[in-house]
Amino acid sequence: MAKPSKLEHVTKVADPQELYRVISQASSQNPAEVRASSKRVEELLDYFGTFDGLHEIAATRSVPLPVRKQSIIQFKNKALNHWRSRKLLSDEQRVRIRSRCMTFFDEEDDTIVECNEVIVAKIARQDYPMHWPSLLADIMDVIRTNLEVLCGTPNGDPRSTLALRRGLALLNSVLKEFSGVKLLAGVKTMVHIIDQLHEVMFAYYSKLSSMISALVPLALSDQRTADNLIVAHFIYKCLVKMALWLWPRLAQPEGGFAKLEPWFLQLFQSSTGQLKILSELRINLVLALRASGPADRLTLLSVDRLTRHVRVFGKFFRRLQQLKPDKFVQLPTGNEIVLYYWDRVVQATNGPPELIQDAPTAVFPVRFLLQAMVLFKENLSRWTPFRKGGPKTETSIDCLWELWSCADESRPALSQEFVEDAVRLLVTRFIPLNLADLEGWMSDPEEWVNLEDKENDQWEYELRPCGERVLMTLSSQYKVYVTPLLETTFKQIIAQPTVDSASVIQKEALYCAIGRCAIHLQEVIPFSQWLQHNLLAEARETNQYYPIIKRRIAWLIGKWISDMCSPANDPNVWEILLHLLRDRGPGTDSVVRLTAATALRECVDTVHFDIDVFAPYLPTAVTELLKLMGEADTMEAKQRLAKSLNVVIERAGPRIIPHAQMISEGIPQLWTAAGEEWLFKAQLLVVVTSLVSAMKEQSSLNSLIVPLVQEGLSQGVAINLDEDALNLWLAAVRNSSSLGYAGGPSLIDLVPLAVSLLSDNLDLLGKIVSIVESCLFVDAPAVLQSFAQPLMNAFVKALTGQAIMTNQKDILVCLQFLTQLAPATLWGEAMHFAGLFSHVVELLNHDESSPSLLTECIYLLARIALADRQMFLQLVSATAETMSLSEAKIWEAVLDHWWRQFDHMSEPRHRKLAALGIASLVSTGRPEVLDRLPNEIFNLWTDVFFEVKESRSLAENEDASPLTLHWDLDQVPQSYYAGSEITVEFDRRKTFLDNDPVRITQLTNYVAAALQEAERNCGGIHIFNQYINKTDPTLLKQLQNELQT
């Protein structure tokens, strides 16, 4: 094994014998040996030569198979991410590894081969064609040589066939890898690959397809047939990879794609023809086999491979349709093949039901029919005669194929007869519940409902949901045909008696069709009359088969109302749903009740919901939903019921208050029983949040809220429930009138938790700051009396930590509110001992601080000065001592930025705040402040005076208050209310805003009083005039005029 030159000092070299021994232990059946070797394996993976050694072990056939598997798996998982590493691999080793990759063509173990395919594809992505130019030629030599053996000998050679299969699978893997490359170099490489392969691979498939097309039943038991099928299948998959990569790029003028368009069209047209041949061949072969009795292993293998091969055509067409739906219908024979697929659907439904099965040996496999229906559905919108730009006349199905080849401007359209036949087929054969559906219903009702609710995601994989989607598309694109047909059918079925299972299932299918097409039927079906005269009676029927119809009635009502085909203001809607929800007599079951709960949610959660109509049914709805949650076995069903209850609470609003106790008493038991079912617990938190929001200040749920929040934010639980727990906490505080609750847990008990999260949890910092702010709005003195120091400490820790800029600004805004909501005696000392004031000073002294953050600091300082100027002076003095600076240095930093940040204050309310704050500091008579009076402070005041004066003039013209400012004529920015608009806190914030000194204090009077007080505090008029006399006369005159106005 080669050693690394010049790397010995940084990289250890693997010992081949030790590597083999450790890998042998790692592949042992003895768990103790595996555990003992695992750590050493990880260490050896960082040694030079380990990857080459692993690959050599995997390629050595004399080594035991488990050791070879372990080696190649380790190589695949680790080496590919370090393929270009000079530390772990040399160029010589990379050459050897690439060469060894080409020795696995006759490998019999599938695991080793599959790993080799991944390895070759990943290495090729990095090395082809620069460092591995022979890759394609080597693979194609193996394919060509062994394909000649397969086609040229009567019985074939098993080892040759194996090598051919391995080579084709390897080529398919390489094509798959390069088709995912987006960079230009990779795109050019893919074009180069396709240039080399497209013609020869097409020729190979053409040769094999002619052999497959001549199959007879007796040949299915021949090994040669099975080999031909799997080889043809792999060749075609390679062709599909190339074609799908080309398809979206054919319209691009650059890149060399246009020259490949004729080949692509040739492949597509031959594929449509081959699909018809193979599909018909397969149907006839399977029918013949069914008539001849049990089949042997080789026959079943051949049928399975033929089925898979037919299915790959459908995947090809479907992917083309997904990538370019508009272009797909323009492909030659594209519409023809889609209609051929639909014809097979018709053929399947006209035969006995046992012909349709989800098995490769079925005459009509379910997956084949699903492909057919999906292709048909997606093409329908291109065939409608009523689409803008579409044809003006309808076309019969017989003329459709001929029309496409001769008319470019016209789009093919389906005839009325064709559309009506398709609708009848869907409603009578695909949409009705089948025996398997009913068995699933009876064996596990809750799981059956869960799966039914997921059908929107799974409709492409099951016949019934897929048939419903096809019907919906037909109804949308061919409304003039489908609507009258469904209307007529509805009138016929509705009047007929429904007593046996067959008639019940057929009526259920019609109700399903009506619900799916509700938007197009709302004008022709009298929904209110139907409710009153038919559905109400059917909902109360006790027939043993009627759960099928009752479940569909509930679903239909939910669908009809949620699609806004009718408003939910008919009492019969609630009468039916609430009866289905609570009925536990004969003729119903849990599926009906669960479906009714979902339908209830859909009807309540609509724009036109009328609470006055629903109010009489509210107690029953709440009671039954809670009862069902207790009865349900699966957490998924419980979660769905909780969602329904939550919507009912949200839409009921204050009317839920009489039932709040019943809801709150049921939550603890559900919560405890949920264990670690976090999704259900999260939904329960949402329910309680909605209940709190609906009750507002009348809420008395602290005994429930406090433990839920504490557990939701506890260690090990918070990772699953933190967001919902915080939402509940915030809603509770915002809708509470106090933080205390006599005789039980209170919201103030959660403040220590908020302090802890504030200092230690950066991820939740934004929401926690909002909660603390809301607590302050409820009762700031109570919070500060008990928690002032830890709260200030937490604020400082968050500000000095790794909090993002947004969170830091939020904290400073919260502190501004704090200084206004509580007296300075409650927060001043704590602010100092926590180092908050000194941190603000440090921010001001820091050259790299954000201007927006510095501006918030000035707002905070202005609020402190306005709240208590003496406290401001004490903070400056104490901070100077703490920082070992003179007070003059502290004042210099504060006043410098007070002036600098003034230009960053865009809102007049903030500029007036700065003016009021500096006026408060002026009144102290501090020489550091008065020194700034002649220039900076006077200029700042005159700027704000001008804004006030201008705004005052505007307000006087509107007969408004003389203190109304321009910014007061508009609404305060929404950010001020912090999302509290529909809570009690909104009124608190609005009252607080209305009483803000910035709004109620006349600036001119305040400044005049401040100047007078400054004159007294600085030592008298003579000393004060020494500062005033330095002012520019014009500026001084302007200021005097403003103050005298």
Q: Is 10 helix (H, G, I), strand (E, B) or coil?
A: coil
CA 174 to chain centre: 32
Highest mean pLDDT among 405-419, 422-436, 733-747, 840-854: 422-436
Q: What angle do CA 247, 253, 254 make, to 5 degrees?
A: 95
Q: In the prediction, which pLDDT does 953 show?
A: 47
Residues whose CB falls within 8 Å of the CB of residue 403, separated by 6 or more in sequence, listed in order: 395, 410, 412
CA 773 to chain centre: 31
Distance from C-alpha of 827 to C-alpha of 102, rounded to nearest angstrom? 77
Instruction: Give the closest residue to 309 by CA, choosing from 231, 220, 243, 247.
Output: 231
Highest mean pLDDT among 10-14, 68-72, 961-965: 68-72
Q: In the prediction, which pLDDT does 384 show?
A: 67
pLDDT band, very low/low/confident/very high, at 234 (cuts 50, 70, 90): very high
Residues whose CB falls within 8 Å of the CB of residue 68, separated by 6 or more in sequence, listed in order: 57, 58, 60, 109, 112
Please give, one letter per residue, the 3-state secondary structure of 705-753: HHHHHHHHCCCCCHHHHHHHHHHHHHHHHHCCCCCCCCCCCCHHHHHHH
Q: In the prediction, which pLDDT does 761 show?
A: 86
Q: In the prediction, which pLDDT does 403 show?
A: 38
What single string gives the DSSP state of each residue in 462-531? SHHHHHHHHHHHHHHHTHHHHHHHHHHHHHHHHTS---SHHHHHHHHHHHHHHHHTHHHHTTTS-HHHHI
Q: What pTM was computed for the model?
A: 0.84
Q: Is 13 helix (H, G, I), strand (E, B) or coil?
A: strand
Q: In the prediction, which pLDDT does 1 show?
A: 45
Identify any residues that bridge with 835 across adjacent strands, giving them in sequence order. Answer: none
Distance from C-alpha of 422 to C-alpha of 342, rounded to nearest angstrom? 9
pLDDT band, very low/low/confident/very high, at 935 (cuts 50, 70, 90): confident
**Given a cut of 90, is residue 740 above it in pLDDT?**
no
Distance from C-alpha of 363 to C-alpha of 384, rounded to nearest angstrom? 31
Q: Is 180 helix (H, G, I), strand (E, B) or coil?
A: coil
Q: How far is CA 375 from CA 272, 315, 369, 381, in A?
A: 13, 10, 10, 11
Q: In the prediction, which pLDDT does 373 show?
A: 95
**How does the average pLDDT of the chain come out, rounded?**
89
Q: In the prediction, which pLDDT does 1034 show?
A: 85
CA Rg value for the chain: 40
Q: In the prediction, which pLDDT does 61 show?
A: 93
Instruction: Give the closest residue to 411 by CA, choosing from 386, 432, 435.
Output: 386
Q: How far is CA 685 from CA 21, 646, 793, 831, 980, in A?
A: 55, 10, 30, 35, 19
**Given a cut of 90, is residue 730 above it in pLDDT?**
yes
For the chain, first and last CA: distance in Å? 97
Identify any residues that bridge with 6 across adjacent strands, giving them in sequence order. Answer: none
- pLDDT one-digit tens code per residue, 587-606: 999 999 999 999 999 999 99
Identify any residues that bridge with 365 across adjacent strands, giving them in sequence order. Answer: 357
- pLDDT one-digit tens code per residue, 374-419: 999 998 877 866 555 444 333 333 344 333 333 333 445 788 999 9
Asked whether the beta carbons of 200 and 186 are under 8 A apart, the reply is: no
- pLDDT one-digit tens code per residue, 495-538: 788 888 999 999 999 999 999 999 999 999 999 999 999 999 99
Residues whose CB falls within 8 Å of the CB of residue 370, separated by 6 or more in sequence, listed in order: 460, 461, 462, 463, 466
Dihedral sign, CA of 249, 252, 257, 260? positive
- Measured N-to-C along each axis, helices 678-695 and 718-734 cross at an angle, to the nearest 10 degrees, of 0
Q: In the prediction, which pLDDT does 402 show?
A: 38
Percent of the chain with pLDDT over 70: 93
Enter the tokens of residue 437.
Answer: 């559906």
350 phi and psi angles, rounded to 5 deg: -80, -10
Enter the tokens of residue 446.
Answer: 């809750």
Distance from C-alpha of 712 to C-alpha of 716, rounded to nearest angstrom? 9
Distance from C-alpha of 592 to C-alpha of 584, rounded to nearest angstrom? 10
Q: How far is CA 848 from CA 516, 801, 845, 911, 967, in A?
A: 61, 16, 9, 23, 31
Please give, one letter per residue, the 3-state secondary structure of 393-424: CCCCHHHHHHHHHHCCCCCCCCCHHHHHHHHH
Identify any residues that bridge with 364 across adjacent strands, giving them in sequence order. Answer: 356
Q: In the prediction, which pLDDT does 266 show?
A: 95
pLDDT band, very low/low/confident/very high, at 67 (cuts 50, 70, 90): very high
- Measured N-to-C along each axis, helices 887-900 and 908-922 cross at an angle, to the nearest 10 degrees, of 150
**Given a cut of 60, is residue 962 above it in pLDDT?**
no
pLDDT band, very low/low/confident/very high, at 340 (cuts 50, 70, 90): very high
**Given a cut of 60, is residue 9 above it in pLDDT?**
no
Q: In the prediction, which pLDDT does 254 show?
A: 77
1022 C-beta neighbours (distance < 10 Å), count: 9
Enter the tokens of residue 491.
Answer: 């009138």
454 phi and psi angles, rounded to 5 deg: -95, 5
- pLDDT one-digit tens code per residue, 95-151: 999 999 999 999 999 999 999 999 999 999 999 999 999 999 999 999 999 999 998
Provide the residue type at 434 as one letter: N
**Given a cut of 90, is residue 1045 above it in pLDDT?**
no
Enter the tokens of residue 675.
Answer: 């264990």
Range with the poorest average pLDDT among 159-168, 616-625, 720-729, 905-914 = 905-914
In the predicted model, what is the mean pLDDT of residues 435-462? Answer: 85
Distance from C-alpha of 52 to C-alpha of 90, rounded to nearest angstrom? 9
pLDDT top residue among 907 and 320 = 320
Asked whether the beta carbons of 517 and 484 are under 8 A apart, the reply is: no
Place of tokens 């934010």: 713
In the predicted model, what is the mean pLDDT of residues 1014-1037? Answer: 84
pLDDT top residue among 796 and 11 = 796
pLDDT band, very low/low/confident/very high, at 6 (cuts 50, 70, 90): very low
Highest mean pLDDT among 232-236, 941-945, 962-966: 232-236
Q: In the prediction, which pLDDT does 399 show?
A: 41
Please give, one letter per residue, the 3-state secondary structure of 289-301: HHHHCCCCHHHHH
Burial class from Cβ neighbours inside 10 Å (0-12, 13-18, 19+) for residue 12 reads middle
Enter the tokens of residue 710.
Answer: 């504490």
